[in-house]
Amino acid sequence: VADPPSKLSEEQVRTRIKDLPGWHSKNGGLSRNFEFKDFIEAFGFMARVALLAEAQAHHPEWTNVYNRVEILLRTHEVDGLTDRDITLAAAISAIA
Amino acid sequence: VADPPSKLSEEQVRTRIKDLPGWHSKNGGLSRNFEFKDFIEAFGFMARVALLAEAQAHHPEWTNVYNRVEILLRTHEVDGLTDRDITLAAAISAIA
């Protein structure tokens, strides 16, 4: 098991978010809302994110209501954001 | 398109819930929390529920955090519960 990653400072988070269009700070995490044509598209997206998340061993907190998906990323071990969240956010954006 | 189903009365909801162990009333809907071994098991369950929901043309509001899934069922057209929710709840219980 790798060492826990280090927590990003508020300044680091602000800087990193600039490179992640659509993502914003929420409840100490990194959040983004996605909207799709219908449930099939929304769940198809979720299935792709699930595979990514499992491969990165870092998982989103997320809610789905029909064609909408809200994702919240954070790293529980540090009670904040780490590079893991930034990496996963960028990967999710790439497939959205 | 079928007629919208009729809204169940509070009395009807109380009666129907007795046949749905684990489900409870929440925010005017029908809710149940599921816990699995890990994310793979949780998302595998969600994929099965997604296929069921799409086939029934009735979709859950749900949240997943790692190995936990919280499901809320309700019928927006009637702002409450209908037979559609009861049917989907029973189907979800059967695969959990």
Inter-chain Cβ pairs, chain A and chain B, closer than 8 A? 37
Query: What is the per-residue pLDDT across A38-88, written as a single tens digit (0 to 9) for each?
Result: 999 999 999 999 999 999 999 999 999 999 999 999 999 999 999 999 999
Q: What single-letter DSSP state applies at residue B32?
A: E
Per-residue pLDDT at B66 exceeds 60: yes
**Tokens describing residue B42:** 């949780």
What burial class does residue B50 get, using C-beta atoms within 10 Å of its C-beta: 0-12 exposed, 13-18 middle, 19+ buried?
buried
DSSP secondary structure string for all residues of B35-72: E-SSHHHHHHHHHHHHHHHHHHT---EEEEETTEEEEE
What Å distances lie between residue A60 and A28, A33, B6, B15, B93, CA to CA? Answer: 14, 13, 36, 36, 24
Q: What is the pTM of this model?
A: 0.94
Element at B29 (helix H, strand E): strand B29-35
pLDDT at A1: 54
Nearest chain A alpha carbon to B74: A65
Which of B63, B70, B77, B88 best probes binding to A when mutated, by most A CB atoms within 10 angstroms?
A: B63
Please check the confidence at residue B53 and state whether its pLDDT lies above 80: yes
A36 within 8 A of A83, measured Cβ to Cβ: no
- For the complex shown, is ipTM > 0.90? yes
Q: For an interface test with B, which of A63, A73, A74 has the most B Cβ atoms less than 10 Å from its Cβ? A: A63
